[in-house]
A and B are shown apart, each in its own frame.
Chain A
Amino acid sequence: MSSTTSMSSAASVASAPATRFAVPGRIAVSNRAAATWQCATLTEIRRETPHASTFRFAVPAWAGHLPGQHLMLRLRAEDGYVAQRHYSIASPPDDDGHVELTLDHVDGGEVSGWFHTVAKPGDEVELRGPLSGFFAWPGDRPALLIGAGSGVVPLMSMVRHHRARNLTVPLRLLVSARAPEELIYASEYGAETTPVFTRSAPEGVAVGRVAAAHVARLLADGPDSGWEAYVCGSNGFAEHASRLLVDAGQPVDRIRIERFG
């Protein structure tokens, strides 16, 4: 061991620096649930848009989840090849023994391709979860949700939870879609939601992307304690939306981001 004098007594009790942004995780994650693969039976397929469908699964031993969490799903081919993907959970926690995923049909996607062209009720897949406590929202703090495309999926779990439990904590959703027919869950939105359309919009609604004015309005309309912001979408969208939030004064450590490639 070095006898250098600069070695201070404080150094010998060194501890890890505290994580500064949006931590600790909102919940403790069950290690056992996260590590255990379970059989899930597809019970229902609902078309949401021309490119997205919701897949409902019976998972009898599901330990429950919080809105915002995701799971890992795997498919196995006859030669033993396994494909696994992370998907956000769309359903609220109070859906005993069932979880729902809403999947885009990705061009050439081997897992989403199977779901959209082969899967039918009665098929079995395996999944593990729920995973990660970071993006979870227990329904305790005012939440400002911003999503684009299928990035709305974990946010919808939060909206449904809010509704199912009659929560009074403030909740707002800003959701971006290319066109009205591509807006996932369109029939379920209420006064909490502002839809934004980037390519074509219903008559009387402007076409454009999520902008500083949208964010400024929601921040001005926020509770005195401010919002917890949850952003979900492609990386490009997440960069854009999180930058708007920061520029509008939302603290960096109260922004949680879930990006997909």
Chain B
Amino acid sequence: MNVTRGFAGRPRVRNDGLPPGQYDARDDWPVLSAEVTPELATSQWTFTVDGLVAEKRTWNWDEAHALPPSAYEGDIHCVTSWSKFGVRFAGVSLDTFLDLARPTAEATHAVAYSHTGYTTNLPLADLTGGRAWIVWEYGDRPLPAEHGGPARLIVPHLYFWKSAKWIAGIRLLDHDEPGFWEQNGYHHRGNPWEEQRYSGD
């Protein structure tokens, strides 16, 4: 691509943590949901792991909080081109939930679904090995509703549309099925380091 006449960009220092095409949102945390923010009380929230599992399991708020805690500290990247560094989310590792439900050998993919009806698909391998969490705290405070509170999924190594807000469950499948944004033209996996933004990238 040609250089844009007269465009210098804002002053910048080299940042190895910034995937290609991203900028540092610093203190901003834009909200980018397509649906109406639900008024979901913690007493109404449940999280289910079902589909290709040995045992379908559902946890309510208190049951989920009784599991061993785990936190993520690091960076997040949104497909709309902002990244945010050094954030902290606290909750429970998704491994903990999956270990209790025991995925069967056929399970290769998952669809995460929300209490709003939002869906997004992921390879199971992207959800295991300490790479995904169900979180209810952001920076030691309850996760705000517009950012997915009372609880959301985070899969920080992928673009953030994979990190379903208002998470209701994970369904394990033996094949890949596109979710909401994937049906609307977005990439099936969404690796920020490979700029997998849209189908065909």
Contact = CB atoms under 8 A, between A and B. Distances in A.
Contact of A17 (B5, B28, B171, B184): B171
A197 B194 CA distance: 44
A4 B57 CA distance: 14
Given A118-B5, A261-B28, A19 B179 contact: yes
B129 interface: no
Contact of A243 (B2, B36, B185): B36
Contacts, number: 188
Nearest to B6: A118
A147 B109 CA distance: 38
B10 A260 contact: no
Interface residues of B, number: 65
A249 interface: no
B31 interface: yes
A77 B52 contact: no
A77 B186 CA distance: 27
Contact of A21 (B4, B35, B50, B174): B35
B119 A260 contact: no
A21 B183 contact: no
Given A81-B9, A235-B146, A253 B117 contact: yes
A34 B173 contact: no
Contacts of A31: 185, 198-200
B1 A4 contact: no
B42 interface: no
Contacts of A22: 34-35
Interface stretch (A7-15, A45-53, A153-161, A215-223): A7-15
A125 interface: yes
Interface string A1-42: 110101100011011111111111100010110111100000
A74 interface: yes
B163 interface: no
Interface stretch (A83-91, A138-146, A198-206): A83-91
Interface string B20-64: 110101001111111111000000000000111111100000000
A214 interface: no
B102 interface: yes
Task: Name the residue in B6, B118, B172, B174 with the highest tally of chain A Cβ atoms < 10 Å from its Cβ.
Answer: B6
A258 to B, nearest CB: 8
A155 to B, nearest CB: 16
Contacts of A36: 200
B125 interface: no
Nearest to A86: B80
Contacts of A78: 3, 8
20 contacts: A1-B105, A4-B54, A11-B51, A12-B106, A16-B113, A18-B117, A31-B185, A35-B200, A76-B3, A77-B4, A114-B4, A114-B7, A118-B5, A239-B146, A255-B36, A257-B34, A259-B30, A261-B28, A261-B30, A261-B31
Given A12-B52, A35-B201, A83-B9, 18 more contacts: A1-B106, A6-B56, A14-B51, A16-B121, A16-B177, A17-B119, A19-B118, A20-B117, A21-B117, A22-B34, A23-B183, A31-B198, A31-B200, A34-B200, A114-B4, A114-B7, A118-B5, A124-B2
Sorted nearest first, the 9 A-B pairs with minimum C-beta distance are A261-B30, A20-B117, A35-B200, A29-B185, A14-B51, A2-B54, A16-B111, A31-B199, A16-B177
